[in-house]
Amino acid sequence: MKPVISVRDLEEMVRNGKDARSLPEDALLTPSARDFLRDLEGTGNLKSPRADAGRSTAPATPVTSRSSRAEIEAFFNSPKIHALKLQICEIGRRLWQRAYVDGNGGNIAVRVSEDLVLCTPTLVSKGFMKPEDTCFVDLEGNQFCGTKKRTSEILMHLQIMKRQPRAVATVHCHPPYATGFAVAGVEPPTCMIPEFEVFASVAIAPYRTPGTPEMGKLVADLVDQHNTILMANHGVVTWSHNDVEDAYFKMEILEAYCRTVLVATQLGKPVNTMTAAQLQDLLKIKQSLGIPDPRFGLKECELCDNEGWRPGVTCAVAGPGDGSAAAAGAPDPEAEKLVQAITEQIMSSQR
């Protein structure tokens, strides 16, 4: 079988200092991998064009937590990190403007070298951060730079980064619709909107006290195959292998999706879903973009399975032994049968 090379493979090669153009003769390139190679030829060097634009946070710098204090401090105050600080403030503003954060809630982290992470401070509204509010921490959460104290929830971001080496940026916030799904313990159904299928891979982590190592571990357990984690009774955290804006985009996509699903299920009609074959096409695109998904490689009949998701509220028919039913008058067996039949029909058409 011919090897299929994605842009993710090429980025990996560049990151490891290998020549991304030394591929096997028979290698098949995905469209984005072909574009990536064309960019490389254009720049005449082996560095990722993204890194040139200051967007990628792939460890291109040798500064680590083991460097001298002065070196770390200089790195923290460098133009490259300043650009990222501004980007974090900008994303914070968007989170606040869209009401994805409340009070001092939410936090953002960007990995800037092998084990240094730029993150948001505690006790500051994400809508009004200044570049100098940000902090430098290592992967254990020890703070190196910044006048404000780092967020306590950074431990969760760091656990994601440790478990998922491709995660260069993480965003956590409390968007109301998606958080509503997290509170109800309902995983958003699938096969409804292409954008959501291509860019987000959702899972739910159980509730634990925010900021505890245990919470971080439960989230980290899911980031191998998911980039968007609903945290039960709390909020959402996303990670990206590209940059912080991309991690934020997943939040927008998820929140818009949850809102749309809620509207669709209130219109009194069974919702339409795409076919498994149509989803398969989207999953191919997703794979070529280097986005994880546990459904890669599944058979078509296994896709679009929304087992466990039931839209709306169904009328419960009281059982014969239910005292409250007797108080309200005994249910009519004919009517009960009819309600049951209609409910089943609706349910089966939505599966």
Asked if 137 and 112 touch (Cβ cutoff 8 Å), the reply is no
159-197: b or e for each residue (b if 16 or more CB lie within 10 Å)? bbbebbebbbbbbbbbbebbbebbeeebbbbbbbbeebb
* Nearer of residues 189 and 235 to Zn ion, judged by Cβ: 235
* Nearer of residues 137 and 156 to Zn ion, judged by Cβ: 156
Please give the DSSP secondary-structure letter assigned to residue 342. H
What minimum distance in Å lies between the beta carbon of 85 and Zn ion? 21
* Nearer of residues 20 and 119 to Zn ion, judged by Cβ: 119
* Nearer of residues 153 and 197 to Zn ion, judged by Cβ: 153
Q: How far apart are CA 235 and CA 182, in angstroms?
A: 7
SS3 for 209?
Answer: coil
* 252 in catalytic set: no
What minimum distance in Å lies between the beta carbon of 261 and Zn ion? 23
DSSP 27-54: PEEPHHHHHHHHHHHHHTSSS-HHHHTT
Please give the DSSP secondary-structure letter assigned to residue 315. P
Widest CA span of the chain, in angstroms? 82
Minimal CB distance residue for Zn ion? 235
Asked if 185 and 204 touch (Cβ cutoff 8 Å), the reply is yes
* Nearer of residues 235 and 311 to Zn ion, judged by Cβ: 235
Q: How far apart are CA 1 and CA 238, in angstroms?
A: 34
Which residues contact Zn ion by CB under 5 A?
235
In the chain, DSSP finds a helix count (H) and a strand count (E) of 13, 10
What minimum distance in Å lies between the beta carbon of 172 and Zn ion? 6
* Nearer of residues 151 and 287 to Zn ion, judged by Cβ: 151
Give the residue among 255, 88, 286, 105 at the shortest CA–CA distance from 170: 88
Of 153, 187, 245, 307, catalytic: 153
DSSP 166-197: T--EEEEE--HHHHHHHHHT-PPP-SS-HHHH
What minimum distance in Å lies between the beta carbon of 142 and Zn ion? 21
What minimum distance in Å lies between the beta carbon of 106 and Zn ion? 6
What minimum distance in Å lies between the beta carbon of 243 and Zn ion? 22
Residues annotated catalytic, as ranges: 153
